[in-house]
Amino acid sequence: MADMDNKLTNKMTWVQVLIAIAFCFLTAFLFMHNDALYSQPIFEVTKVESGKTSKMTDEFQNVDHYHEQTLYGKIVNGKYAGHRLTIDNAYSDSHAMDHHYIKGQKLFITLHTSPKLHATVKDLKRDAPIAFLFALAISLLFIILKWKGVTVISSIVINTILFWIAIIIDHNNDGAAVILIFSILAVIFCFVTLFLVMGWSRKMLVTLSAVLAATAITILITLMVFGITHEKGVYYESMQYVTQLPKPLFIAEVLIGVLGAVMDEATDIVASLATLKTEKPELSKMQLFNSGRQIGKSIMGPLINVLFFIFMAETLPMTLLYLKNGNTWQYSFSMNMSLGMTSSLISGIGIVLTVILSSLFAGLWIKGDER
């Protein structure tokens, strides 16, 4: 019987894998041919001619090569669809701000009509690979988790919508009260996510209160530390893409960033303690608290590292550029990685506080699994 089940699931998996592969490529294909949806003119490269290559050396003795190329092709959408064009392009070996285009690629271009129709390249059209990757992730979620995948995806979609609404509100307030807006958002995020994961129950309320309390205390500790140290070594000027007051924005970033990890951990601890309490109702509050601490102790390290890698890895390109521009290690670190490090440490504090608070709250309020 078990063997038959096994065979059945195996067979289904193979069919599913084939469907998934077809789905990914179909998605990519559709996005490769969605030019009509764009109002910006899109240019398809049909032939590339390489031009001359010249060597160049900057003031820090970095050697690079500059290549010229001529792109032949046609416009595929809009008013000028079907027009053939020739565009000159140049790129370097490092591809920092330029691209090496090849036959078959589609590019966004800027059209100039005077004296005659000509164009310059703006950027590569890159929605197809993004869509492909999304399709791959979604199909894997379905194949491995079946219907649980739907909950995961819907939770991501709901949170993305909430997040976008918060950004609209923030923008309409001209960036005032960022922390307040994102704190309220954090509460709503937690409520929605925990409701989706655990349903409406006492466990969920215990988790929710642990998450909110831990996050609030973390932010307070951060502000206190910043107060005591006069924010020495925190270089807000190195924040990227800042369009409003950097300090509150930074706090809001960390607040949202740590929330997922804190919820992850609190859910784990509270759920385990609830099961424990059901199995052994005689456990005292203190014993429950200590078991919670044992569980938390083993998950906090890996969890801190999750955020550490997310926050730190994205600073890599700019740090490298600083190092290659003759800056010292210390200066390159300060201007690029120090904010990532600060966020990682604050997140770490949040994660550890969650262990304490969720064990404490579970010890005080949990009554075992209500079934």
Partner 1 sequence: MGSITCLGIVLLVLMMIVGGKQGITSFLSMVVNFGILFFSIVLIAFHTPPIIVTIVASVILLSITIFWSSASDNASTTAFQASCVILILLIAIIIPIEYWAQVGGFGLEDSEELEGLSTYIGIDFTKIAIATAILSSLGAIAEAAIAIASGLDEILTQHDKIRSGELFADGVFIGKQIIGTAVNTLFFGFFGSSLALFIWFYGLNYSLGEILNDKVFAAELIAIVVSLIGVVLTIPITTWMMSFRLKKVQDKTMNK
- Smallest gap from residue 323 Cβ to partner 1 (A): 4
Candidates 208, 210, 213, 264: give the one binding partner 1 (CB under 8 A). 264
Gap between the Cα atoms of 150 and 349, Å rounded? 32
Q: Is 307 in the site for partner 1 (CB under 8 A)?
A: yes
Residue indicated by tokens 């990890």: 261
Size of interface with partner 1, in residues (CB under 8 A) = 136
Structure token digits, residue 306: 């999750």
Instruction: Map the footprint of partner 1 across residues 121-180, applying CB under 8 A.
Output: 123-130, 132-134, 136-137, 140-141, 144-145, 148, 151-152, 155-156, 159, 163-164, 167-168, 170-171, 175
Give the list of residues 6+ apart from residue 346 with CB closer than 8 angstroms, or none. 218, 222, 254, 258
289 binds partner 1 (CB under 8 A): no
CB nearer to partner 1: give 202 or 293: 293
Q: Counting runs of H as helices and runs of E as strands, what totals does the chain give?
A: 10, 5
Indicate whether 81 belongs to the interface with partner 1 (CB under 8 A): no
Q: CA–CA separation, 66 vs 306, rounded Å?
A: 39
Report the site for partner 1 in 20-79 (rule: CB under 8 A). 37-40, 56, 58-60, 62-66
Q: How far is the CB of 214 from partner 1 (least distance, A)?
A: 11
Cβ neighbours for 16, distance < 8 A, ≥ 6 positions apart: 142, 143
CB of 115 to partner 1, least distance (A): 27
Choice between 248 and 368, CB closer to partner 1: 248
Question: Whose Cβ is closer to partner 1: residue 255's or residue 366's?
Answer: 255
Main-chain phi, psi angles of 70, to 5 degrees: -115, 125
| Residue 90 β-bridge partners | 68
The SS3 of residue 48 is strand
Dihedral Cα 217, 218, 219, 223, nearest 10 deg: 100
CA atoms of 281 and 354, how far apart (whole Å): 24
Q: Residue 15 or residue 168: which is nearer to partner 1 going by CB?
A: 168
User: Where does this chain touch partner 1 (CB under 8 A) — which range of 81-89, 244-252, 275-283, 362-370?
Assistant: 244-252
**Does residue number 261 form part of the binding site for partner 1 (CB under 8 A)?**
yes
Residue 252 found at the interface with partner 1 (CB under 8 A): yes
Q: Determine how many CB atoms are found less than 10 A away from the CB of residue 335.
A: 17
Given candidates 75, 76, 269, 346, which one binds partner 1 under the rule CB under 8 A?
Answer: 346
Spell 260-286 as b/e; 16+ CB within 10 A means b: bbbbbbbbbbbbbbbebbeeeeebeee
Comparison of 85 and 196: residue with beta carbon closer to partner 1? 196
By C-beta, is 84 or 96 nearer to partner 1? 96
- Judged by CB under 8 A, the residue of 53, 88, 301, 331 near partner 1 is 301
The span of 46-54, 74-82, 111-119, 254-262 binding partner 1 (CB under 8 A) equals 254-262
